Structure 1
Amino acid sequence: MSASAPHSSTSHPIPPHVGGGERRWQIVLLLLLTAAAFRLPGLFYPSEEYFDEVYHAKTAKQYLEGQPPTEWVHPPTAKLLIAVGVWAFGYEPWAWRLAPAIAGTLLAPVFFLFARRVLPTERAALLASVLLLADGVYLVQSRIAMTNIFAVLFQVSAALAVLRAALAERLPFLEMSLAGVLLGLALSTRWTSLWAWGFLGLVLVVVRKRRLTSPGCSSTIRPRRWSPSSATSGTTTRT
């Protein structure tokens, strides 16, 4: 009587992208809450204008009062956004710093979504986002009534929209329109955002050309994804 061969079960690897969408939005929420925890508390200190707040916060108030602006070097969008807090809560330190703090809070999850597009793994994108959160420059710019943080938020958001459009089968109207609006907001915040127009335009042309003319061209930009054929070899493909 021959012994029967033991039953062997073959383990099937779980595709890395299964549940990835839900996990991605969990990370987005975590980054949003973490950024808010470091940017929103204590906006009332110091209790007076400091550094360039003497120009930007005061100009926001002057816009509300219909007076000629003190600061006119850069376009008005950021100062108008600062004015929203002043209009809603009065000319208080935390009120004129509220809009920059919100912009700095939103920057973290937007940057993660952008990094997820250009880096090969979710872990790398998360690490890049953590480094952004830990950067003192972005923390300070998020807690002071200045224009820089608005420009960065609009530029990164525009870059995400442009990249999504460039990697699509056909140029999507929504992403291209959104990119145009965001680039317009960036330029209407700081003139230095003009470089983003040229750079992102070049990115769109180069990526789009490779996307259409070279097989697998998007593999140099888009994250790696699991495919059934790679399950047994332990490798991943990019789409």
Structure 2
Amino acid sequence: MADTAVTERPAAQAPPARPSVLLELRRRTLWLSRYAGWLGPIAVALFAGVLRLWNLGSPNAFVFDETYYPKDAWSLFQQGYEGVWPASANDQILAHPQVIPLTSAPAFIAHPPLGKWVIALGEAAFGLHPFGWRVMVALLGTLSVLMLARIGRRLFGSTLIGCTAALLMSVDGLQFVMSRTGLLDGLLMFFVLAAFGALLIDRDRVRARLAEPGVDGDRVNLGLRPWRLAAGLLLGAACSVKWNGAQILAAFGLLTVLWDQAGRRAAGARFPLRSMLRRDAAPAFGSLVVVGALTYLASWSGWFATSGGYDRQWADGRPGLLPAPLRSWWHYQSEMWHFNTTLTTPHTYQSNPWSWLVQGRPVSMYWQPVPTGQQGCTSSGGCTTQILALGTPLLWWTACFALAYVLYRWFFRRDWRSGAVLCAVAATYLPWFEFQQRTIFSFYMVVLVPFLCLAVAQMLGAMVGPAGSTPTRRAVGSLAAGGIVLAVMGCFLYFLPLYTAEVIPMSVWQDHMWFTSWI
């Protein structure tokens, strides 16, 4: 039987599969996820910067204590020390900024000079007028938003949580007002937050070093730690703006050595406390306290380099072991200490620290009545314009619950991240309870704002739930967390006219006064 050849036709090859639209879109936007850790924070910072720089020169007036610091800054820039200004200086500066009525006579100043040197940079670039003395504070306030986003990302391991914290701070009324005012507290906040971030980077690098194979947690020397040195420099700068930085330096110093102890324990150290005390405590003291003290001393370089500053010649003719300039400087520091710890002169807007977290008594930085027919006022009842240093109420009230949550996380779950936030909160807030008889104001709490926002962002992240949660759980949590953020932003917009000295009818102003203590 003849064999029959069977020839099979080759099967037609299917055309190459085309990637789905979603996969292609993901491939094309992969770079976004690669750089999301920077793109998100930068976007939030740009939003904050537009808010803070927009119409920064208005009002054309000295707002609250701007009657002191911008003039001190100009004196430093011109002659190296703060001088006395004539009583008519305010009107002359605002009306004729090209004519500066400065005298060379020294003036007693109650705060160190660095913050005023920072303000002087803006005045050197733009002149002695409102935009000039506010611009550096506004720029550093904006940079603080960027730093907070990156700090939150590093602290919680989530770009979203970091950006949420930064977004909340960008719409906090207190940080907004203090970023648009030529005062010192916003600058103090910048240096404190930067120091916190530097210590956080140092912690992560130390943990990576201790996790290397073969490392003995008891015996390893951690070597040079540049980020902790940077933290010492920044904390010294904080003290050189206001003395409030000193207690923060002490708290952050304790925090970093406790982190070292915990790191050595995680690396298998049998005696982590003893190892920390032997190998880490002294370097930490040098990096933070010694570097901070040298930074503080350097901030007085203008006073040392000239001969006309307040008390500059006090030690001349008085015997002593130290050089006369140092003894004169020390005497000046003692006078500053006496002034800052005994000031009890009553003030309309002073308040007790117990009321600060709930914004019980905000400070009116600027207020002017506007008659009908002037400055665009069409209300028959007249108008007003005000700058009120009021933290966005919904944010601060939410933060009270967030602090309780963070305290729970630290105490019961031993969450180190919550402990870090609580350490910063305690360092910036609790010391004020020792000065309840002193004349103090709620706007000092601008230094606390970044850490309140971190606490709120952490709580919102917990509301959303971990990645392994059910879709329904995450959807409900995301809606709740997003609703809180939107409510805070809406509250900020509602009070924005009172943050920017917008002319509004008196009836509208009264509607914004939710409590009589705000008036």
Instruction: Name the TM-score class by shorter chain.
Output: 0.7 to 0.9
Contact (CA 8 Å) 1:117, 1:221: kept in 2 or not? no
Question: Do the aligned partners of residues 220 and 81 (structure 1) sit closer, same or farther apart at CA in structure 2, a change above 3 Å counting?
Answer: closer
Matched, 1:106 2:121: no
Indicate the larger mover: 141-150 or 205-214.
205-214
Q: Return the match for 2:119 from 82, 96, 113.
A: 82
* 1:210 aligned residue: 262
Question: Do the aligned partners of residues 50 and 167 (structure 1) sit closer, same or farther apart at CA in structure 2, a change above 3 Å counting?
Answer: same
User: Percent of pairs identical after alignment?
Assistant: 27
State the Cα distance separating 1:103 from its structure 2 match.
0.8
Structure 1 residues 6-63: Cα deviation after superposition (integer angstroms, max 9, x where no partner) = xxxxxxxxxxxx9755111101211221111111111111112120100111111222
Residue 241 of structure 2 aligns to a residue in which SS? coil
The equivalences for 1:1-239 within 5 A come to 22-66=35-79, 68=83, 70=107, 72-168=109-205, 169=209, 170=222, 173-214=225-266, 220-221=416-417
Unaligned runs of 5+ in 2: 1-30, 85-106, 210-221, 269-413, 419-466, 469-519
Contact (CA 8 Å) 2:155, 2:417: kept in 1 or not? yes
Question: Do the aligned partners of residues 193 and 21 (structure 1) sit closer, same or farther apart at CA in structure 2, a change above 3 Å counting?
Answer: farther
Contact (CA 8 Å) 2:73, 2:120: kept in 1 or not? yes
Question: Do the aligned partners of residues 220 and 89 (structure 1) sit closer, same or farther apart at CA in structure 2, a change above 3 Å counting?
Answer: closer
Structure ranking higher on relative contact order (CA contacts 8 Å, 6+ apart): 1
State the Cα distance separating 1:89 from its structure 2 match.
1.8
Structure 1 residues 142-190: Cα deviation after superposition (integer angstroms, max 9, x where no partner) = 0000011111111111011112112322465221221111111111011
State the Cα distance separating 1:220 from its structure 2 match.
4.4
Contact (CA 8 Å) 2:73, 2:117: kept in 1 or not? yes
State the Cα distance separating 1:119 from its structure 2 match.
2.3
Higher Rg: 2
Residue 261 of structure 2 aligns to a residue in which SS? helix
* 2:428 aligned residue: none
**Backbone CA RMSD of aligned residues:** 2.6
Structure 1 residues 55-95: Cα deviation after superposition (integer angstroms, max 9, x where no partner) = 11111122223252656211111111111111222111101
Count matched residues.
207
Unaligned runs of 5+ in 1: 1-17, 223-233
- Alignment partners' CA distance in 2, 1:171 and 1:116: 26
Residue 145 of structure 1 aligns to a residue in which SS? coil
- Alignment partners' CA distance in 1, 2:135 and 2:169: 20
Q: Which amino acid aligns with 1:96?
A: W
